[in-house]
Amino acid sequence: MAQLRLPGQTAADRAQVLIQAVEEALTDVTQTLTQSGLTTATSTLTNTLNSVLTSLENLLASLTSSLSNTSSRPTTVTGVLQKLLDQRVTITTPFDTLTGTLSSLQSDYATLVEPSGSLVLIPLNRIQSVQQA
C-alpha cells in the first residue's frame, strides 16, 4: 500500500488535508468530464468519489472522537488513583508491591486496605506504578 506524506500535526489534521484534496479532485474531474460531454461517466465518477469522500469524512470523525477520548485519560498518579477508588489495585513503590482495595486518597497519601484488613498509608510521591488488580 502506498503511503501519503500529508502535512499536519495530527492524524486528524492529515485526514482533513486528504478530504480537501479529494473534494478538489472531484470538482476538477467533474468539470473536465462535463466540458467534454461525458455526462454518464461524470455521474458514475461523481457517485464513486462522493462515496470515497463520505468514507474519509467518517474516518476523520472517528479519529477526532478517539483523540478526544484519549485526552480524558488521567496523566498524574493522583488522577489514576481517583479513577481507581474503591477498586482492587496493585501499587508499586521503591520498597514493596502492595495489593488491596484503594479506600481513600488524600493530598499526599493513599490508603490501601490489604486482604488481611490492614490499612497501609502510601505516600503519593513514592508510588512508581498503579494498576487495577
**What does pTM read for this prediction?**
0.48
- The answer to whether position 6 is within a domain reads no
- The answer to whether position 1 is within a domain reads no
The alpha carbon dihedral of 69, 71, 77, 81 has a sign of negative
- The answer to whether position 81 is within a domain reads yes
Q: Number of structural domains, the chain?
A: 2
Q: What is the pLDDT of residue 103?
A: 96
Give the CATH number, domain containing residue 113: 2.30.30.100
36 — phi, psi (to 5°)?
-85, -5
Answer yes or no: do 93 and 127 share one domain. yes
Q: Provide the domain limits for residue 95.
A: 77-132
Q: What is the pLDDT of residue 1?
A: 46
- The answer to whether position 50 is within a domain reads yes
75 pLDDT tier (thresholds 50, 70, 90): confident
Answer yes or no: do 66 and 84 share one domain. no
Q: What is the pLDDT of residue 116?
A: 96
Answer yes or no: do 95 and 46 share one domain. no
